[in-house]
Amino acid sequence: MSVIEVENLTKVFKIPQKDPGLGGAIKGLFAPRFQSKTAVDRINFRLDRGEIVGYIGVNGAGKSTTIKMLTGVLMPTGGSIRVLGRDPHRQRIDNAREIGVVFGQRTQLWWDLALIESLNLIARMYDVPPARYKQMLDEFSQTLDLGSLLKVPVRNMSLGQKMRSELAAALIHEPKVVYLDEPTIGLDLIVKERIRDFIKAECGSKGMTVMLTTHDLGDIEQLCRRVIIIDEGRVIYDGPIETIKKKFGKFREITFETTGLVPSLSLPPGCELLSTGDRKVTLRFDRIQTTASQVASAVMKQIEVRDFSLSEPDLANIVKQIYNGALDNGGVEPEAADARPAP
């Protein structure tokens, strides 16, 4: 049996339309008009015990709405969710005992309390046996280096310290299912690295099922074997991260700034034109077939280059390409937009 089972999950929001001013407010009170917005549209997936799955998408794709439904905060409009066999909204309190949640941008700790006091409260709320609680505290003191933080009120912590504390608060009752919403947002590289190591070790060793939403492809690459990509409320990819890496990891983009207008260029094999602008041209090349220096020298022979820069494709770009059918026909042709699968 899967730990999380999601079937045809749908969420439609009704957004009240407001007219300005007091008159509008009163009108809205008696004759409200609504506009429907489908945030999550018939999505399906299953997560097994011990899986760490990346749930990614651009802003507004429906990620946090999904997480809110999975945690029981929001009620689905349609479809069903089973988390450990329960309906998380209807059996919210029973479900809450088994899950741990980190909302990256919001604290679940008490602002003015020393961390240890917050943890005491949370442990009691989840009925963690005192002996086990002590063990967990010792463990976290090591793995999250909380020792020196326990007496510090949350309001005096740095962003990284706060996140370490949030993780301790979310995992102190050893939940079976963990939802991490942007756990590394705003952190610097070293802290990010540490948080990832901790998640990997803690959740891996205890067989927790983890659903991770993030903008950071680094999080995904290091923690997840499987990713689910969502866009405009629909799942557009569900499969191994390897496929994504192979497909998109081998490409690089290179942008040239030129002194004059860009003529039509002849490009080496494995390289293609992405866009041309005013004194600017962007190419994409396959790292297996060619190299950055080959592409650069080929271009420089044809035009005068003032500057150039290299970049890896970002999440928004990947999503766009998958949407345009990149994973269906094997090509990453921009023209493939027409070949997009019928919804």
Element (H, E) at 135: helix 130-143
- Helices 189-206 and 159-171 pack at an angle, to 10 degrees, of 10
Measured from the CB atom, the residue of 91 and 255 that comes closer to another protein is: 91
CB of 167 to another protein, least distance (A): 15
Residue 73 binding another protein, by CB under 8 A? yes
CB of 64 to another protein, least distance (A): 9
Residue 97 binding another protein, by CB under 8 A? yes
Strands across the sheet containing 4-17: 33-47, 4-17, 78-83
Stretch that binds another protein, among 125-133, 183-191, 243-251, 295-303 (CB under 8 A): 125-133
Q: In this structure, are strands 280-286 and 251-258 parallel, antiparallel, or unpaired?
A: antiparallel
Q: Which of 4, 101, 230, 254 contacts another protein by CB under 8 A?
A: 101
Residue 33 binding another protein, by CB under 8 A? no
Residue of 1, 14, 2 lying closest to 75 (CA atoms): 14
Q: Which of 125, 201, 300, 316 contacts another protein by CB under 8 A?
A: 125
CB of 22 to another protein, least distance (A): 5
Measured from the CB atom, the residue of 101 and 223 that comes closer to another protein is: 101
Residue 75 binding another protein, by CB under 8 A? yes
Q: Which of 7, 38, 46, 126 contacts another protein by CB under 8 A?
A: 126
Residue 93 binding another protein, by CB under 8 A? yes
Token look-up 């730990």 returns: 3
Residue 63 binding another protein, by CB under 8 A? no
CB of 175 to another protein, least distance (A): 10
CB of 35 to another protein, least distance (A): 13
As a three-state string, the secondary structure of 252-285 is EEEEEEECCCCCCCCCCCCEEEEEEECCEEEEEE
Element (H, E) at 165: helix 159-171
Burial class of residue 113, CB neighbours in 10 A (0-12, 13-18, 19+) = middle
Residue 92 binding another protein, by CB under 8 A? yes
Q: Which of 2, 7, 13, 255 contacts another protein by CB under 8 A?
A: 13
* Distance between CA atoms of residues 175 and 182, nearest Å: 18
Stretch that binds another protein, among 47-55, 121-129, 144-152, 286-294 (CB under 8 A): 121-129
Burial class of residue 65, CB neighbours in 10 A (0-12, 13-18, 19+) = buried
Stretch that binds another protein, among 66-74, 79-87, 207-215, 274-282 (CB under 8 A): 66-74
Measured from the CB atom, the residue of 118 and 321 that comes closer to another protein is: 118
Q: Which of 27, 38, 121, 193 contacts another protein by CB under 8 A?
A: 121
Token look-up 């009704």 returns: 14
Residue 72 binding another protein, by CB under 8 A? yes
Token look-up 């492809």 returns: 217
Cβ atoms 85, 31 nearer than 8 A? no
Measured from the CB atom, the residue of 112 and 188 that comes closer to another protein is: 112
Residue 340 binding another protein, by CB under 8 A? no
Cβ atoms 227, 53 nearer than 8 A? yes
* Distance between CA atoms of residues 34 and 181, nearest Å: 29
For residue 313, CA distances in Å to 50, 140, 186, 253, 279 come to 30, 36, 20, 7, 22
Measured from the CB atom, the residue of 91 and 294 that comes closer to another protein is: 91
Which residues are at the interface with another protein (CB under 8 A)?
13-14, 22, 25, 65, 68, 71-75, 77, 89, 92-94, 96-97, 99, 101, 103, 106, 108, 110, 112-113, 117, 120-121, 124-127
